[in-house]
Amino acid sequence: MKLSKISIAFFGAALLFASSALAGDSNKGTLNVSEQVSVDGKTLNPGTYKVQWDGVGPTVQVTLLQGKQTVATFSAHLTQQSRQNSENAYTSSPAPDGSRALTAIYLGNKHAILEVEQNGTAQQSENQGSK
């Protein structure tokens, strides 16, 4: 009886760790920026960035990394859509100073959209860049 309780506890712990590991992988992706855009006061130059977010929504904390260096951290509104994104993409809109502001991130093979919060609200996107 004591052995079965220990086995059940071990099995439960293994499931807990496995589910958290899977959840961690689902909150990651890659973003390929093809133009200079800004987010949360930081300028992103064209290149490839790793995207990670913490939380399950609707508001999440997004971190963009280039290599192992954190480039930007900002709040976003996580939206689930019925169709899976076919590829990595993003949208941007013109900022008052003439630059481009990142407004949303679409991660390939996921149903999620990360809408960047500007001044406390999710920004509506205007132009979409891909890859």
SS3 77: strand
The domain locations on the chain are: 28-130
Per-residue pLDDT, 3: 53
Give pLDDT tens digits for 48-87.
Answer: 999 999 998 799 999 999 999 999 999 999 999 999 999 9
Using CA atoms in the order 116, 52, 64, 33, what is the torsion angle rounded to 10 degrees? Answer: -70
CA 117 to chain CA centroid, Å, is: 13
Cα dist. 103→24, 115, 122 in Å? 24, 6, 8
